[in-house]
Structure 1
Amino acid sequence: MPNSRGVLLYGPPAAGKDTITSQLVTIGPYAHFQRLKVGPGRTSGYRMGTVEQLATLRKHGQVIYENRRYDSTYVVDRSELDAILHEQERVPVLHVGQVDAIRAIRRGYPLTWTVVMVFCPREEAEKRLIGRHDARVDERLAVWDETLTEARRADPALFDLVLNTDSFEPTHTAAAIDWCQRHHL
């Protein structure tokens, strides 16, 4: 395999995962892993799918992790990771908001994963959500609370790097992740 590395960005809504990923893509051989989404709502940053496609992925053992939120199902699938690694020869960057997702991905797709927790103050997350005209601000802030509560309960060794995205410019955050990923600290 040409590449055996990946980045997991764990964090609550509006923590900066999309912005950081955009910066990573500009500085290195990174590719945003777009989860398959089955359901309504935001389409940007996802591969939209159908119930039938999801059933086929499940039937063929392609689902590494899936979760339900916001009336939709979100899927990390083996075939898309394979495409990024083998066809594009890139380092996949996955966005997750559950500790169980980190564990399932590490177990289900063994790479050298750099796990980065990104967060920002709740007030900043709310400003970001309002600024992007999110229709579900209250719901996403409730998820923000759940995600940070889960992170506080998690073993700190789960994360290779923890970054407050309100304290650093996205270019510096991406550079720190790139350095950590390349040196796998």
Structure 2
Amino acid sequence: MPNVVEPSVRVNRGPAAGPENRRALIAAAREVYAEAGLSAPFSQVAKRAGVGQGSLYRHFPDRTALAVAVFEENIGDLEAFASDPERTIDDFLDLVADQAVVSTAFIELLSADVADPRVKHIGARYREAVELLLERQAASGRTPEGFDVDDVLVATDMLAAVIARTPPEGRADVAARARRLVHSAFRPATR
């Protein structure tokens, strides 16, 4: 009797697959939008993640929701980083630049939706991480006099904007240049 090959059947795991699908969609979004920018079709994210479009829209009804999910992970990384007492604003901005290099499409998207409450929440968490670092650094005398949280936020915006405007092949170089400038601005004045 010949061997019969059963067709592969994808089993629908229902709600149990939700968290795994969400993680797969976020990872796929990072890849798709890093490669093609915001012009990539939203459906491409679902395809790359290996899930149906229904699953994509259940988790992320629009591009902003997806961008916020990506930045929720980024902010979590930044908060953990900032909680280490050995970290400085310079270290923090290095990580921000690294994240910006691979998240430029999301930066553009969130910059266009700054009034969205989901985006404001991300901004508030970012500000708290910066405040923690600045307070600790100021207490040790390692912050230039007169520098405050808003200065760091402006530096971050400038850093992210220049990286986002640069073609992918030049982003790492531009990020390195921008970091050098920011590092020199955040050095305490020597007397």
TM-score, normalised relative to structure 1: 0.30
Choose between structure 1 and 2 for higher RCO, CA contacts under 8 A separated by at least 6 residues.
1
TM-score where L is the length of structure 2: 0.29
Going by fraction, where is helix more abundant, 1 or 2? Answer: 2
